[in-house]
Chains A and B, each alone.
Chain A
């Protein structure tokens, strides 16, 4: 049924969007793709799992704590793997990102093993049916939390002093410095916020799919990156829209064409959109003045 597929699509799309925001914010400022972001998402999921399982923390406390730890991890990654390469060619931090990605996957395997872990049952699963459509309590949780986080991010970026400085820095690091903005601090905050959102997405994915494993960041990362590019990389509302669009079309494709092609559909959409509008849905044309 169509509306059912759309609901499922929005659910997973909201998660893609949360992860995509991290890619797009970092790209917006540094013009690099943080290919380790998918693995930061994975680490966030494990942090959540760990805190819930071993400390028996209440759900929302665990949610906040793992977001904090993951934010810290994102800042450490920026400090160690990207900042020393700030003034090199753009390809160099890309390779560094791959290194971080491999490191994090191996670290997770070392600490938590290579097997798939179930996620602690912290949230009562109920399903509600109306008009033949089912929606679970988990889906509602995902939708509500992602909407809150996205509105929060929007307010942070558009209304606060630091958020405005973040946008200014993404337009020109040099001119931002001339305002007295400590751009290194702003960049660190950007990594922190993006990583915290990835951790939130990670916990929601953990609850939704009940499967946590060290290589889970790979596909999720690729999909979210696709969502960011779809929406126009560097553009925050674009990442949100791109995530939802990707989630919905992917689900419709899986339902009406073939579920085996689910992942292929995501990339077909990407290729088509990029052929029609290379800058993505919300992307602006870059004008290079000579």
Chain B
């Protein structure tokens, strides 16, 4: 579904990611794990068209999207939940969800999908008239995910959904990631929390200073000594 071929992205003269090759197949959850500053977020921003690639190609369903504008990429069916959630703080919860459906015109279906998001995250329904800035971190994460789903994405990009959240909320969020995937959305998940990420993913890539150093199925990664030591904290 998504093929990244030799992608390099620079900030000024500093390379943030170097010659990445990543593939995400239809129906998978693929995770990108790595420490702070390893280039995970840059990769997602590159896919979404927020940050421009210096070299390489990004193909989505066989189409080259490398040079497309961010809003056109959303229209292709890729939706990103940005790092730090990125909800619109002064818009109501419901308005945030409508913004997720910005490109859609099927009002009735949008209404049904709002109900579906509320079904997935009942706490959002209780707070739908509240402005998003007043929600807790966990609720904001749920809103950001619900909002991304409102565009009916084929591929959902999640940037560190566990960031800054209590462990119990993190578990809840990951359960929902799994459910979203089971309901048919392909997911590319960026995480520092490798344990959680590998618990929902099918395959993974490990990034270090902008380069892929390991890749494989979840079982392969979980049995890799180096990954066990550095990312999973198992000795």
Contacts and interface: CB of A to CB of B under 8 A. Distances in A.
Interface of A: 161, 164-165, 167-168, 171-172, 174-183
Given A161-B102, A164-B98, A181-B102, 19 more contacts: A165-B99, A167-B91, A171-B89, A174-B50, A174-B82, A175-B88, A177-B48, A177-B71, A178-B79, A178-B82, A178-B86, A179-B74, A179-B100, A179-B103, A179-B151, A180-B74, A180-B75, A180-B103, A182-B69
A180 B150 CA distance: 11
B70 interface: yes
A180 B147 CA distance: 12
A180 B151 contact: yes
A213 B95 CA distance: 44
Contacts of A171: 88-91
Contact of B91 (A168, A178, A181, A183): A168
B117 to A, nearest CB: 15
B102 A177 contact: no
A174 B45 CA distance: 10
Contacts, number: 61
B161 to A, nearest CB: 15
Nearest to B49: A177
Contacts of A180: 71, 74-75, 102-103, 151
A175 B102 contact: no
Given A168-B88, A177-B50, A183 B102 contact: no
A73 B70 CA distance: 27
A172 B88 contact: yes
Interface of B: 48-50, 69-71, 74-75, 79-80, 82, 86, 88-91, 95, 98-100, 102-103, 147, 151
A164 B100 contact: no
Contacts of A165: 99, 102
Contacts of B95: 164
Contacts of A172: 86, 88
Nearest to A174: B50
B91 A177 contact: no
18 contacts: A165-B99, A165-B102, A167-B88, A167-B90, A171-B88, A171-B89, A171-B90, A174-B86, A175-B88, A176-B99, A177-B48, A177-B74, A178-B48, A178-B50, A178-B80, A180-B74, A181-B99, A181-B102
Closest A-B pairs by Cβ, 6 of them: A180-B74, A177-B70, A175-B86, A180-B103, A182-B71, A171-B88
B189 to A, nearest CB: 16
A171 B147 CA distance: 16
Contacts of B69: 177, 182
B68 to A, nearest CB: 11
Contacts of B50: 174, 177-178
A164 B71 contact: no
Nearest to A183: B71
A172 B147 CA distance: 15
Contact of A178 (B70, B75, B89, B90): B70
Nearest to A182: B71
B187 to A, nearest CB: 16
B197 to A, nearest CB: 21
Interface centre among A165, A167, A171, A172 (most CB of B within 10 A): A171
Contact of B102 (A167, A174, A179): A179
B88 A178 contact: no
Nearest to A164: B95
A161 B98 contact: yes
A169 to B, nearest CB: 9
A92 B86 CA distance: 28
B91 A164 contact: yes
Contacts of A176: 99
A183 B80 CA distance: 16
Contacts of A175: 82, 86, 88
B90 A179 contact: no
Contacts of A182: 69, 71
A177 to B, nearest CB: 4
A34 B91 CA distance: 25
Contacts of B88: 167-168, 171-172, 175
